């Protein structure tokens, strides 16, 4: 009986793993060069880590994989981590709180139920968190790093979309919603229901004139934001701090020549964000995003420390990044075969294999069902002369050798 894999899961087979490691490698390498350090959090966390901050929407929380552990008789459940930032922040508070500035990165899987089973329920992401820096330079550092990584992966046409959580919240205050109602509407926007904003617009026509341009704001220049600021300064001063912050970031991006789009109503999936929100697209595929979440650390019981971060969707990148020919080729590989007396010469075979590996070859000793044509070199060994036959399958050369030193010399000459 064949047992099928679970709905919504994905095998990473030979080709996919090559892609996976390529992306992971480039991400890791870039992060390290920018001074970020790697961490990893456990797959299982307490459910209340995610409910207690009040920052994940009920919509997200109703899709987490939570269950009672074998000692969970108290009724408190554990969860397969649904996202990476909250655990990373917990790790920071638990282990690194003495570091005033922490640049962290991680490569993890996350788990969220998806009804149809056609999308992955287990996702992989490359994440970074920049904890302790509140300036717009920190936001721009993350933006630049994320785009650099995508470029190194060979993705040139990366589209950057910007929004601002502070501005969305100010907007909801502008609509005259109570704190409670604001929370509800914000939850819905975060769950992807943008229609709720349109409904609000029709309920408060007097504000509509002012706020509609902001809702529908999709533009490329800071001019838009400046115009808005000019209007709102008079009418709705609560918008000013968020708008100023947004303008500062946009100015910096202009100065470093980074292209972007502004799309205010695209807040989906950014539950705990307080400032800039950015999303990265390649064509229509969203490959990553991030932003500023200054309120999260104090909410989780840490000090009042600002923070921001981003995550790249490793599983989506795997589908669009073209494998680099370098990786696909890899080092040459060797198969060592015993012609006779295997038991006697196995020790010597292991020694040769070890020395060849140290010079950069991939070496296998022949087992049942070995496919010889997959190897660049064959070394046939026996206990009698000529001890070694070396076949270069790439150029069909065939040579013999008496000692292992000669074998190494022959294979070494190929370089």
| Interaction site with other proteins (CB under 8 A) | 1, 3, 48, 51-54, 58, 61-62, 68, 70-76, 115, 183
Cβ-based nearer residue to other proteins, 70 or 395: 70
3-state secondary structure 159-215: EEEEEEHHHHHHHHHHCCCCHHHHHHHHHHHHCCCCHHHHHHHHHCHHHHHHHHHHH
Residue 60 or 245: which CB sits closer to other proteins?
Answer: 60
Nearest distance, CB of residue 171 and other proteins, angstroms: 21
Q: How many CB atoms lie within 10 A of CB 157?
A: 8
- Nearest 5 degrees, angle CA 63-CA 65-CA 70? 150
- Measured CA to CA, the distance from residue 164 to residue 21 in angstroms comes to 33
Residue 356 in contact with residue 411, Cβ under 8 Å? yes
| Residue closer to other proteins, measured from CB, 68 or 195 | 68
Q: How far is the CB of 303 from other proteins (least distance, A)?
A: 17
The strands making up 276-282's β-sheet, listed across from edge to edge, are: 37-38, 102-111, 122-131, 307-313, 285-292, 276-282, 158-164, 261-263, 218-219
| Residues 6 or more apart in contact with residue 229 via CB below 8 angstroms | 239, 240, 243, 244, 247
Smallest gap, in angstroms, from Cβ of residue 87 to other proteins? 17
CB of 66 to other proteins, least distance (A): 9
- The sign of the dihedral angle between the CA atoms of 99, 104, 109, 113 is positive
Q: Give min distance, CB of 182 to other proteins, in A.
A: 12
Q: Are 300 and 86 in contact (CB under 8 A)?
A: yes
267 or 288: whose CB is closer to other proteins?
267
Instruction: Please report how close the Cβ of residue 185 comes to other proteins at its closest, in angstroms.
Output: 14
Of 75 and 223, which has the nearer Cβ to other proteins? 75
Nearer to other proteins, 9 or 37 (CB): 9
């Amino acid at each position: 009986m064949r047992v099928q894999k679970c709905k919504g899961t994905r095998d990473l087979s030979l080709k996919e793993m090559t892609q996976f490691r390529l992306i992971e490698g480039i991400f890791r390498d870039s992060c390290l060069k920018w001074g970020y350090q790697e961490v990893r959090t456990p797959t299982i966390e307490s459910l209340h880590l995610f409910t207690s901050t009040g920052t994940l929407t009920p919509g997200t929380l109703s899709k987490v994989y939570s269950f009672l552990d074998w000692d969970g008789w108290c009724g408190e459940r554990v969860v397969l981590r649904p996202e990476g930032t909250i655990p990373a922040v917990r790790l920071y508070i638990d282990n690194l709180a003495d570091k005033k500035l922490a640049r962290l990165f991680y490569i993890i899987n996350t788990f969220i139920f998806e009804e149809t089973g056609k999308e992955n329920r287990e996702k992989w992401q490359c994440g970074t968190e920049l904890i302790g820096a509140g300036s717009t330079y920190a936001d721009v550092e993350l933006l630049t790093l994320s785009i650099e990584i995508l470029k190194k992966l060979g993705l040139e046409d990366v589209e950057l979309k910007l929004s601002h959580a502070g501005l969305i919240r100010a907007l909801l205050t502008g609509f005259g919603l109570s704190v409670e109602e604001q929370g509800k509407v914000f939850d819905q926007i975060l769950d992807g229901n943008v229609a709720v904003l349109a409904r609000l617009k029709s309920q408060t026509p007097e504000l509509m004139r002012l706020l509609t341009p902001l809702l529908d704001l999709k533009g490329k220049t800071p001019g838009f934001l400046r115009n808005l600021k000019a209007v709102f300064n008079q009418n709705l001063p609560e918008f000013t701090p968020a708008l100023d912050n947004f303008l500062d970031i946009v100015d910096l991006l202009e100065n470093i020549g980074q292209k972007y789009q502004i799309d205010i109503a695209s807040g989906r999936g950014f539950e705990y964000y307080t400032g800039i929100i950015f999303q990265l697209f390649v064509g229509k595929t969203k490959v990553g995003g991030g932003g500023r979440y200054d309120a999260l650390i104090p909410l989780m019981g840490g000090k009042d420390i600002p923070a921001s971060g981003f995550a790249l969707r490793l599983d989506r990148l795997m589908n669009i990044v073209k494998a680099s020919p370098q990786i696909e080729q890899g080092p040459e590989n060797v198969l060592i075969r015993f012609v006779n007396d295997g038991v006697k010469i196995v020790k010597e075979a292991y020694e040769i294999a070890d020395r060849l590996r140290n010079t950069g070859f991939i070496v296998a000793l022949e087992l049942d069902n070995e496919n010889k044509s997959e190897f660049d070199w064959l070394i046939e060994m026996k206990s009698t002369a000529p001890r070694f036959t070396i076949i270069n399958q790439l150029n069909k050369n065939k040579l013999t050798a008496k000692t292992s030193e000669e074998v190494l010399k022959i294979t070494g000459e190929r370089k």
